[in-house]
Amino acid sequence: MANQPYNPAEVEARAIDKWERQEAFRAVEQPGVEKFYCLCMLPYPSGALHMGHVRNYTIGDVISRYHRMCGRNVLQPMGWDAFGLPAENAAIKHDTAPARWTYQNIEHMRGQLKRLGFAYDWSREVTTCRPEYYRWEQLMFTRLMRNGKAYRKDAEVNWDPVDQTVLANEQVVDGRGWRSGAVVERKSIPQWFLKITDYAEELLQGLDELAGWPEAVKTMQRNWIGRSEGAEFEMQVCDAAGAPDPGGRAVRVFTTRPDTSFGMTYAVLAPEHPLVEEITTAERRAEVERFVAQAREATEEDRLAVEGGLEKRGVSTGAYLFNPFTRKPVPLYLADYVLMGYGTGAIMAVPGQDQRDWDFANSHGLPIIRTVAPPDGWEGEAWVEDGPAINSEWLNGLEVAVAKEKATQWLVEQRIGERKVNYRLRDWGVSRQRYWGCPIPVIYCAACGALPVPEDELPVVLPEDVTFMGVRSPIKADPEWRKTTCPECGGPAERETDTFDTFMESSWYYARYCCPDADSQLDERADYWLPIDQYIGGIEHAILHLMYFRFYHKLMRDAGMVASDEPATRLLCQGMVVADTFCREEDDGKLHWFNPADVEVERDAKGGPVAAILREDGEPVSFGGVEKMSKSKNNGIDPRVLVERYGADTVRLFSVSDSPPHQSLEWSESGVEGASRFLRRVWSQVLAHVDGGPCEALDAGALDAGQREMRRLVHDAIAKVSDDISRRYTFNTAIAAIMELTNHLARFDDSHPQSRAVVREAWLAVVRLIAPITPHICEELWSRLGGAGPAYCADWPVADEAARERQQVTLVVQVNGKLRARIELEPGAGQEQALEQALAVENIKRHVDGKTIRKVIHVPDRLLNIVVA
RNA sequence: GCCGGAGUGGCGGAACUGGUAGACGCGCCGGACUCAAAAUCCGGUUCUGGCGACAGAGUGUGGGUUCGAGUCCCACCUCCGGCACCA
């Protein structure tokens, strides 16, 4: 039987069948039992799994299987982020309907996930394009409309004038529509927004509590929210002599540096500012209008292209503002470096303390007054750091922070302005002019305006059986679908034909898993499982998805649906899967990329790579660097092929063995073979042990030194692997420790009966230690070893501290910090004894003799450093 | 420009709390088995000198703190990621 070869396909089919029969991963709420909710970001059903999915879901599966074995009540669900643009593209390409294509992909990918043995509770599967899912999101939206958290305003979109359709950013290639090739226009249309800015402060503060989130993600979110403290105040419009505007108009500005107000030498409005029209003087009008038109047409890229010390574009309005600090007028300009969407869309300009203002002042011949003294010898331009105030009357001599405070207080006392906090974060635009998304539940009535669809008429169902040509959304093209009656006045009305941003669906799916069949958006089961104990997904979601789902959680909390403030306590962002790229330049000068699976790498005697050749023709190819797996670089590896060739366990093992989860994983065929070799070795070693027949009970007190040492290694490994999986999340080092242990076991002489008992204990431990990573083979080996019950719910092994006690420890002996010898001692030996023993060693004597011992540093059981001179 | 992360053998990576640098895997070298090859098994593998015992050097660069630094501090270089006219 020991010769029975390891056949992954057979072993894995058997294990999967067992789990299904036993409904092994079905999660049931058990009040009083510690729960663990482990969630991986749900996939978009693009057609097939890629290695990134495999890695992501393996990480999640390892964590949840570990916690299950520790006795926790684990929920690990899976679902489909099923709405989205790719379905529309595929529908055109394959002449099918987006729904059909999506459902087919889901079928296929579900099969792939099952084949990989992920421990999901499939009874909780959620598919976001189903009305039974999105109806709740529609209901929530209508409630947000009623309480003012959802509102409508104009916003710009990319408009394809040929196809007469709105394009997503990804559909704009080099400024042209991807299908028509027409130059894309910017067009302002009314769209729906959610007031995420109402939660800016809470979203920011909440980050401090998320100890289990990566710093990188929290930093990105902090920057994205972009909180800045300052003051907002009003300045009267006046003429060059300071005479007030007869219309009494004023401009509000926001500044983070009210302390520098005495250095204001001009002010600027954004080109879109509503006052531009009114205050521009007659002689400046023509030029101002030209500038405004130019700014409106310029793409964002064009506007940004001027950045970085280049001349700032702008024009004078001919009007002036009255600086309340100096009681003098300053000229008012228009410039496109001031954005309408931030602050008040108007700024006071202080060239002495702001580099952009400095640049603008320079190119427009405006005066520069420093109001913070730069250090002696400073030869730069704007000084933005701390220092004493100068040229600032009653602020002179004060440091920046103090001056800021005093200036702000003055504004408040004078009733000119107030303290103000601004955020960079903008409200979330949720309208998409696409077909394949959740219909926005709104009705437009000529008499009554925009109204939420009444709750008893929900859901607004998206028709799935459509002919999709991709030019216009089928629901936009169908007047019948649009036609409805006004819920207020009963008159004729039209439905909204825009759909939600797909981030809407992914903002609350995690909560729906808790109660997928609930007759409301959520029920009381949500609070049993939430918050998510471990969330896992790609870093590319650091800002948008991870911000939106935190926001939506707070919306649900405020609607009384959940009790927690945050959706996930711990977050892990796994690294990308990367691979070598190989290419050749074709005759037309373009690069042709070859799949690493088709390339052979030649090495020198040391193993360093010297050349790469294409297997097919034996001709060389050039190495193009290590890149994220992608179609464009043709360096993707299909997990399907790997699973067929090596089995799911090998693929799972490799995908977490070569680097820690948060780092990128470098694909290597030989690495996969190494993983496979390891599993075959474990297989044959365990079978060989089982073949030796039953063995006697372990008597820990009766072991000889060698047996005790073997047993110590086993229990050390248990402790290390447990810590690596639960605390450190370094599965690579856990696997290394298991491999090390099996290497020791292979060399261990098990001819003595008690030795066999030690070995049996070891294998029972090893099989459980790798079970979260390679569950199928472990299921089989566990049962052959006679383990109790199925492996997936076997007790996680616990290290026996008594077995870990050492009889002897190795003490490193240094002389002047240089390693000179190692000595064996009993644990806990004192410095005197250690020193005596060390000085008896020949090599130590050589380095110490003839010198005076100045100092001895002793770290018990670790190190002895003898300092001589 | 600002903010984050990282630089360690031929390669991926270990070294968690300042205490044996290079665990584990890959690759490579040697051996066993074989008619042979593959597979498998055993041994070796940072560099330099030496038969060896050993000795010297070594974690991006240059300084520093310390009995002792991959780890801490200062300055710099390179790479990756995010944000980028946010007043």
The string of pLDDT tens digits covering residues A799-855 is 999 999 998 899 999 999 999 999 999 998 899 999 999 999 999 999 998 889 999
Within residues 546-565 of protein chain A, the ones with CB less than 7 A from nucleic strand B are none
Q: Give the type of residue at A823.
A: I
Within residues 758-777 of protein chain A, the ones with CB less than 7 A from nucleic strand B are none
List CB contacts of A508: < 8 A, sequence separation 6 or more.
Answer: A137, A140, A521, A549, A552, A553, A556
Q: pLDDT above 90 covers what percent of chain A?
A: 72
Nucleotide nearest to A814 (CA to C1'): B68
Q: Tell me: pLDDT of A309 over 60.
A: no
- pLDDT at position A173 is 72
Q: Give the type of residue at A331.
A: P
Nucleotide nearest to A216 (CA to C1'): B4
Say yes or no: Cβ of A818 under 7 A from any atom of strand B.
yes
Question: Could you give the CA distance from residue A390 to residue A400 in angstroms, rounded to a whole number?
Answer: 11
- pLDDT at position A607 is 64
Q: Tell me: pLDDT of A238 over 70.
A: yes
Nucleotide nearest to A346 (CA to C1'): B87
Highest mean pLDDT among A211-215, A421-425, A510-514, A579-583: A510-514
Within residues 265-304 of protein chain A, the ones with CB less than 7 A from nucleic strand B are 270, 303-304
Mean pLDDT of the A247-268 span: 95
Q: How far is the CA of A673 from the C1' of B45 (A)?
A: 21
Mean pLDDT of the A298-307 span: 51
- pLDDT at position A799 is 97
Instruction: Output the CA angle A543-A548-A550, nearest 5 degrees.
Output: 100
Q: Tell me: pLDDT of A365 over 70.
A: yes
- pLDDT at position A337 is 87
Mean pLDDT of the A156-176 span: 75
Mean pLDDT of the A266-273 span: 93
Q: CB–CB of A177/A160 below 8 Å?
A: yes
**Which of A137, A152, A146 lies closest to A452 in space, CA to CA?**
A146
Q: How far lies A706's CA from each of A87, A497, A686, A716, in Å?
A: 63, 76, 20, 15
Q: Tell me: pLDDT of A307 over 80.
A: no
Nucleotide nearest to A744 (CA to C1'): B24
Question: Could you give the CA distance from residue A369 to residue A396 in angstroms, rounded to a whole number?
Answer: 14
Backbone angles phi, psi at A212, to 5 degrees: -90, 15
Mean pLDDT of the A741-756 span: 93
- pLDDT at position A615 is 82
Q: List the single range of A57-71, A549-563, A663-677 with lowest mean pLDDT.
A: A663-677
Q: CB–CB of A188/A297 below 8 Å?
A: no
Question: Could you give the CA distance from residue A17 to residue A21 in angstroms, rounded to a whole number?
Answer: 6
Q: Tell me: pLDDT of A711 over 80.
A: yes
Nucleotide nearest to A226 (CA to C1'): B86
- pLDDT at position A312 is 65
Q: How confident is the model at residue A310 (pLDDT cuts 50, 70, 90)?
A: very low
- pLDDT at position A606 is 65
Q: List the single range of A96-105, A166-175, A553-562, A753-762 with lowest mean pLDDT.
A: A166-175
- pLDDT at position A87 is 93
* Beta strands per DSSP E along A399-482: 417-423, 428-429, 431-432, 442-445, 449-452
Considering only residues A510 and A620, tell me which one the structure prediction assigns the higher pLDDT: A510
Mean pLDDT of the A170-192 span: 79
The encoded tokens of residue A795 equal: 């007790």
Say yes or no: Cβ of A857 under 7 A from any atom of strand B.
yes
Which strand (E) or helix (H) includes residue A360?
Answer: helix A355-363
Q: Tell me: pLDDT of A733 over 90.
A: yes
- pLDDT at position A306 is 45
Q: How far is the CA of A817 from the C1' of B46 (A)?
A: 21
pTM for the structure as a whole: 0.93
Q: How confident is the model at residue A298 (pLDDT cuts 50, 70, 90)?
A: low
In A673-699, which positions are buried (b, 16+ CB within 10 angstroms) versus exposed (e)?
ebbbebbeebbebbbebbeeeebeebe
Question: How does pLDDT run across A446-456, given as a tens digit for each residue?
Answer: 999 999 999 99
DSSP A532: B
Question: How does pLDDT run across A419-442, given as a tens digit for each residue?
Answer: 999 999 989 989 988 899 999 999
Q: Indicate the average pLDDT of chain A.
A: 91
Q: Give the type of residue at A261.
A: S
Q: How far lies A237's CA from each of A153, A283, A366, A610, in Å?
A: 29, 17, 19, 73
Say yes or no: Cβ of A595 under 7 A from any atom of strand B.
no
